[in-house]
Amino acid sequence: MTDLTGKTIAFLVAHEGIEQVELTEPWEAVENAGGTPRLISTQSGTVQAFHHLDRGDTFDVDATVADADPDSYDGLVLPGGVANPDALRLDEDAVGFVRSFVEGGHPVAAICHAPWTLVEADVVRGKRLTSWPSLQTDLRNAGAEWVDEEVVVDGQLVTSRKPDDLPAFNQALVELFAG
């Protein structure tokens, strides 16, 4: 088993619209590998997750993205859901956080619609990625090579398409974060 002991992993989400399973399963994978996950959001308090279009659970926020320092974290997970990354791309602090993370050489994992935030941060040019199929044009227009694969690792980025890909995504992100 890959060990994340001593590593703190940021999970960046908007106030609502997070696909719950794309938050909870990677969170558990980080914890099971010995890492410490932290929930970073655009607002303090709690965030609302969803099971597709139905409300799911709420989760307590550890820090707001405006107050978070990318250098305090060893990895970043961007869960999907359609509304979640769409809201993050409109938040300057969230986009700046993601951009700083990538430019600083830190590993980033994004699933489903989450690569939209990577597009907005302008960090996909020349990268090979996957995502939910409806994002392929956006990713290609931003200079990425889009492929339809379960999980893709390109340097410091790991991406997957959908909840069905979570086992492979979780394994790849834990390996990437372990270094």
Tell me if 3 is assigned to some domain. no
Tell me if 125 is assigned to some domain. yes
Tell me if 84 is assigned to some domain. yes
Contact between 97 and 13 under an 8 Å Cβ cutoff? The reply is: no
Summarised one tens digit per residue, pLDDT across range 6-53 is 999 999 999 999 999 999 999 999 999 999 999 999 999 999 999 989
DSSP SS3 for 104 = coil
Asked if the model's pLDDT at residue 1 lies above 80, the reply is no
Confidence of residue 88 (pLDDT cuts 50, 70, 90): very high
Summarised one tens digit per residue, pLDDT across range 100-137 is 999 999 999 999 999 999 999 999 999 999 999 999 99
Tell me if 1 is assigned to some domain. no
What is the C-alpha to C-alpha distance for residues 6 and 128, in angstroms, rounded to an integer? 30
113 part of the active site: yes
For the segment 138-143, the average pLDDT, to the nearest whole number, is: 98
Percentage of residues in the chain having pLDDT higher than 70: 99
Tell me if 145 is assigned to some domain. yes
Output the domain CATH number for residue 98.
3.40.50.880
Catalytic residue among 15, 52, 106, 113: 113
Average pLDDT over the chain, rounded to an integer: 97
Contact between 144 and 136 under an 8 Å Cβ cutoff? The reply is: no
Domain that residue 40 falls in: 8-178
Tell me if 92 is assigned to some domain. yes
When divided into structural domains, the chain yields a total of 1
